[in-house]
Amino acid sequence: MKNLKTSSTSKTPDPGHDAQAAVSSMQPGTVSSIKQEQDTSPTEHEAYLERLGTVKGRLKCLLELTRSEQARAASPP
């Protein structure tokens, strides 16, 4: 997954340079997968973000459940 966070002081790199450097350092066959990723429609991105939100919600719920069970087990009877 790509890291989309950027530093407020970082300079925005030339996208053409990054793409060229990335393509030149890749093995054959990976260029087509990058092309497919770039061709992904906005609705596919929205669906991905929705699924990601669902997974994050489930994870949060499981973490809360685990913490409550641990607290219950640690408290005296």
The residues spanned by each domain of the chain are 42-70
The predicted structure's pLDDT at residue 26 = 53
The predicted structure's pLDDT at residue 57 = 97
pLDDT in tens, the chain (77 residues): 455 555 445 555 555 555 555 555 555 555 555 566 666 788 999 999 999 999 999 999 999 999 999 999 998 77
The predicted structure's pLDDT at residue 41 = 84
> Three-class SS string for the chain?
CCCCCCCCCCCCCCHHHHHHHHHHCCCCCHHHHHHHHHCCCHHHHHHHHHHHHHHHHHHHHHHHHHHHHHHHHHCCC
